[in-house]
């Protein structure tokens, strides 16, 4: 996980020797020995990823709520409330982060067998966010129905997504 540092002159940005990234943390790799079955292992790895990302971004969550003082380039100090505005990742990282299934679009509701094809009158827009949020919030109220709610919303059962 890297964070881009702003206000770097354009001619320096593209040099490989320029330190334009700051390492935020390492994500663990594991094969989860003593696993029960493949799907259980995959669910555990997905949940582990989200727990680690929440831990890495926990200072940002606190800064977003309480605000932090930051001095800008002109010397004036402002109280800002930073937030994660963009996530850049390859397809597999997007699928893992959005809790969608491999082979499906992590952004829109197009069926997996029509990815990359132009289909006239195909529904456009984002996934049904309200349905997904209701499914993910159902864990506290009904842990046994959580898997079915997530399946109905078309997302993986992530207990606490970052």
Q: Which domain holds residue 132?
A: 34-153
Provide the 10 A C-beta neighbour count for residue 149: 20
Terminal CA-to-CA distance of the chain, rounded, Å? Answer: 14
The domain total for the chain is 1
Helix axes 129-141, 143-153, angle to 10 degrees: 170
- Please indicate, yes or no, if residue 51 is contained in any of the structural domains: yes
- For the chain, give the percent of residues with pLDDT over 90: 3
Q: What is the pLDDT of residue 38?
A: 80
The stretches in the chain having pLDDT less than 70 are 1-22, 35, 118-127
Look at residue 5 in the predicted model and tell me its pLDDT: 47
Which is it for the CA torsion 55, 152, 31, 36, positive or negative? positive
In a domain, 10, yes or no: no
Structural domain contains residue 27:
no
pTM given for the model: 0.68
Is residue 12, in this structure, part of any structural domain at all? no
pLDDT at 27: 84
Residue 118, token pair as written in the block: 């132009």
In a domain, 17, yes or no: no
Asked, for residue 62, whether it belongs to a domain, the answer is: yes
So what's the pLDDT on residue 113? Answer: 77
């Amino acid at each position: 996980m890297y964070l881009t540092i702003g206000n770097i002159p354009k001619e320096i940005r593209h040099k490989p020797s320029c330190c334009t990234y700051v390492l935020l943390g390492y994500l663990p790799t594991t094969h989860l020995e003593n696993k029960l079955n493949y799907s259980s292992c995959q669910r555990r790895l997905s949940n582990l990823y989200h727990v680690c990302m929440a831990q890495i971004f926990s200072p940002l969550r606190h800064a977003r709520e309480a605000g932090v003082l930051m001095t800008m380039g002109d010397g004036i100090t402002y109280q800002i409330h930073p937030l994660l505005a963009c996530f850049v990742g390859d397809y597999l990282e997007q699928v893992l982060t959005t809790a969608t299934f491999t082979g499906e679009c992590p952004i829109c509701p197009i069926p997996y067998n029509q990815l990359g094809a132009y289909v006239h009158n195909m529904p456009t827009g984002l996934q049904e966010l309200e349905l997904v949020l209701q499914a993910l919030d159902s864990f506290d109220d009904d842990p046994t129905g959580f898997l079915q709610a997530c399946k109905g919303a078309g997302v993986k059962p992530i207990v606490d997504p970052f």
